Structure 1
């Protein structure tokens, strides 16, 4: 897998800082006639690895499909990319954007009506379903078979909502890595998350018990009202779809070509 061209050292933000910087302090403001960014010359992206293949650490840098797409946006804006590791709750709620931690949130975020109240989403760029990861040889596969199981979910995700909607007993974790570790140690019987993020673990003593079709779509997010930036993001998404870049990135990071339609 290729390394990103414009990644600068990652900034860790394990605890959401509510006193964020404003674009007028160090970035370009709309009043100056340019695109408002948290830091001048830099597209700052909040993300929540590990969430392979969308964002994860490789050789000390955060890489993945989301980061590669963010690079394309940055290229079109003639700026560099910086990633800020942020709890998913702060990403999906819009808190990280509102605090001025970043310009863009990119973390495999399913577009939902609730999140649309807090974030302005780009056009969809990835179709997703929920998957069930279980130990090899497990008989857990259907919703019915999970009735007495302890299912690990990632907090504030659509996977958590799906599990609760189906009446499953869940244990919450902050990220995918903690979910997989809990399955490895027997703390949970199975884990639910977006299916594309579970397939990298199939060869590690786990198997995919099921793929539950939920017809979700991922979007990139900006602060509410950031029309100029949103237009730029959508412009890049349109460009990479038309010039073949998206298909190449998808194949590189997901491992298969995107399906037609």
Structure 2
């Protein structure tokens, strides 16, 4: 089940999508709905267990640009590119399942054997660590306030003082942060729904990850309609999650991230999907 903007719930059926890397490899398999395919579980290079032979199955929640989103019929983005490196090391192909974000906190799809790992721009928190094991951090994140220009606000304090409506994506740290600041934010199912809520006036401002906001503002219409407000430092770091105790896969993910940072691959992927490297890095 997936939370909608009004706090109601609707049935959600996971669907299989494919990465640009998989498409380039000429894969012919097509799957819909839930399940692990006909091949069943297997082992990747190094004896790493996988839920489907020859595949590294990733649970994500689409869309969440620039981390994972559909472009020209393929699923691409920062997270996708990093997990493709893991899959390459394991001599398998990445396969992506679009699933409800709320299940990432519980590790439900990992525990059920539907996915090997979860990758969705997900912040590492102590609460989530109770249910899943995280990789080493792969991204330092901040939140940002984006407001309609007509609202005239640029800070959360102004949103509160003007008694304006604030929105956030459901089950995210942005929503948690807003709640912790005394707001009762309108919860939207996806980042696309957050943006649409701002466009249609359902909310006056939103709190969401800064890279997502920056991606939105590349669109001229968005840049004209919205104002980028305060940057909110929350000390967040993103990690990929695996089932509790899946140490072999976690170690393989950690190795791929560290190797990519050491040989410059990480920087190239960062610049491609996020933008210029943070100050102090080259």
Shared fold by TM > 0.5?
yes
Contact 2:55 2:95 in 1 (8 A): yes
**How has the CA–CA distance of structure 1 residues 62 and 184 changed in structure 2, closer, same or farther, with 3 Å as cutoff?**
same
2:207 corresponds to which residue?
192
Give the superposition deviation at 1:66. 0.1
2:47 to 23, 27, 34: 34
- 1:201-240 pair list within 5 angstroms: 201-202=216-217, 203=220, 204=222, 205-240=225-260
**Match status 1:46 vs 2:66:** no
Give the superposition deviation at 1:112. 0.3
Contact 1:53 1:254 in 2 (8 A): yes
SS in 2 for 1:57: strand
1:164 corresponds to which residue?
179
Give the superposition deviation at 1:22. 10
Mapped partners of 1:11, 1:199: distance in 2:
33
Per-residue deviation, residues 173-216 of structure 1 (Å, max 9, x unmatched): 11100010011000111111111111112241222112111110
**Match status 1:121 vs 2:134:** yes
Moved more, 246-255 or 84-93: 84-93
**How has the CA–CA distance of structure 1 residues 67 and 93 changed in structure 2, closer, same or farther, with 3 Å as cutoff?**
same
Mapped partners of 1:119, 1:260: distance in 2:
32
**Match status 1:241 vs 2:256:** no
Contact 1:124 1:217 in 2 (8 A): yes
TM-score when normalising by structure 2: 0.83
Moved more, 111-120 or 138-147: 138-147
Moved more, 163-172 or 105-114: 163-172
Give the superposition deviation at 1:11. 5.9
Mapped partners of 1:42, 1:183: distance in 2:
38
Give the superposition deviation at 1:63. 0.6
Mapped partners of 1:152, 1:181: distance in 2:
11
**How has the CA–CA distance of structure 1 residues 121 and 97 changed in structure 2, closer, same or farther, with 3 Å as cutoff?**
same
Give the superposition deviation at 1:138. 3.5
SS in 2 for 1:36: strand
Mapped partners of 2:144, 2:96: distance in 1:
27
Mapped partners of 1:200, 1:63: distance in 2:
14
Give the superposition deviation at 1:34. 2.2
Unaligned runs of 5+ in 2: 1-18
For this pair of structures, how many residues does the alignment match? 252
2:77 to 38, 48, 64: 64
Contact 2:43 2:53 in 1 (8 A): no
Per-residue deviation, residues 119-160 of structure 1 (Å, max 9, x unmatched): 100000100111111123532222221111111111111001
Mapped partners of 1:153, 1:93: distance in 2:
20
Per-residue deviation, residues 71-128 of structure 1 (Å, max 9, x unmatched): 0000111100111001111123211111212101000000000001111000001001
